[in-house]
Amino acid sequence: MRSRVPLVVLAVLVLAGGIVAAVATRGGCTLDDVPPVPATGETRPPDLAALGAAPPAHATPVGDVDALAATPDADVLLAGAVLSARHPRTGALLWSVAVPGETATIAVSGNRVVGATTTDRLRIFGLDAATGTDRWCRERGASAWPTSPLVTVGDRAVLARQGALTAVDATTGAVAWEVPATATRLLPAGGRIVADTGASYAVSDGAQLAPPVPDAEAVAADTDLTLLRRAGQLVAIDRAGTTRWTAPSRGTGDHSATILADGVVLDAVRTEIGDRSGFRGLDAATGGQLWRTDDDVLGGRSFRAFVPAGGHPLVVARSAVGRYDPHTGEARIATADGTVAALATDPTGRVALVLDGVLVSYPRAPR
């Protein structure tokens, strides 16, 4: 099976972040209508009631999916070189286009989907997620091969290419700013963008707010903090780059295994025996450990990623979806009869996932 939950896009996931997938080479800089990828399949959708979801609105075969992004009006899927959208309540096909380039990264900005593809040149494109109209495509010079990281903040999409960060208007593709920078991954963090080097930049004008941190990798960020892994330590720095606290890393080494949520650092950790893994919660203000859990169905080699979903992010495993209360560690878990290849959430709290080639949409349960 070609699909995997990211870890970027795609890997899979995420709302404000980007989703990455390999696609077949196609030249030019256009988005042309094409037939959808034929698909068959069936699955038994898991019950996500424990996670606050209503029964599935639909379960629609879509085949192998490389990337999935969700908006209130459409679920956007990338399969090979074809980008398509499905209605979130019925699964009906809304549109289907061919994208240029070799490696695609997609993200959503309001009711728009934006993407970047690479060959020898970087191409960035955008269109309306619900209708597939209002399309634009721009070439932006050499790409940061093999991927061009892309994230959205508000109405802007920020992407990295060789030696530069570029911000464009998600609706028109017009360049808002471009600054010299080096990045192979980007983290959206309120009004700033954080590069994997630890450097951060203002979304408004690209001004550098904090410099790169030598020998460190940024793994998570929010409006106030950036979390780095450096020399076996998890290091929290503020917007100016000043260290606030350090804690033993114990991480799995994957950047997708750490997230900031509601004042807590959620971290996937490895035990010292075998392949058992667990999770811990750290106070984001002090670095003190609040709780830890080991060896449940979300851990071990099954763990895929954290997916932002308000103050209680989802945890995606190979055959399960769950969430931990960030303050107490209380877990709610739903197991799946199959492999979760992709999962995304939209601002309404709806969950979309691809299970064994079938797209399933879960509205948020009434409160």
CA angle 3, 109, 20 (to 5 degrees): 25
In 3-state terms, what secondary structure has residue 247?
strand
CB 213 within 8 A of CB 226: no
Question: pLDDT under 50 in the chain at which residues?
Answer: 1-17, 20-25, 253, 255
Question: Which pLDDT score, from 0 to 100, does residue 312 have?
Answer: 87
Token look-up 């960060």 returns 165
Quick: pLDDT tens for 257-294: 899 999 999 988 876 555 557 899 999 999 999 999 87
The pTM score is 0.87
Paired residues of 166 in beta bridges: 159, 178
Question: Which pLDDT score, from 0 to 100, does residue 276 have?
Answer: 56
Q: Which residues contact 85 (CB under 8 A, 6 or more apart)?
A: 74, 75, 76, 77, 93, 94, 95, 96, 113, 129, 130, 132
CATH 2.130.10.10 correct for 19-35+42-362: yes
CB 306 within 8 A of CB 313: yes
Question: Which pLDDT score, from 0 to 100, does residue 143 have?
Answer: 62
Paired residues of 107 in beta bridges: 114
Question: Which pLDDT score, from 0 to 100, does residue 4 have?
Answer: 31
Taking the C-alpha atoms of residue 224 and residue 360, their distance in angstroms, rounded to an integer, is 35
Quick: pLDDT tens for 165-176: 999 999 999 999
CB 31 within 8 A of CB 99: yes
99, 100, 158, 294, 318 from 3: Cα distances, Å: 18, 20, 25, 27, 11
CA angle 252, 254, 258 (to 5 degrees): 85
Amino acid identity for residue 17 in this structure? G
Quick: pLDDT tens for 17-47: 455 444 444 557 889 999 987 888 788 899 9
Taking the C-alpha atoms of residue 356 and residue 337, their distance in angstroms, rounded to an integer, is 9
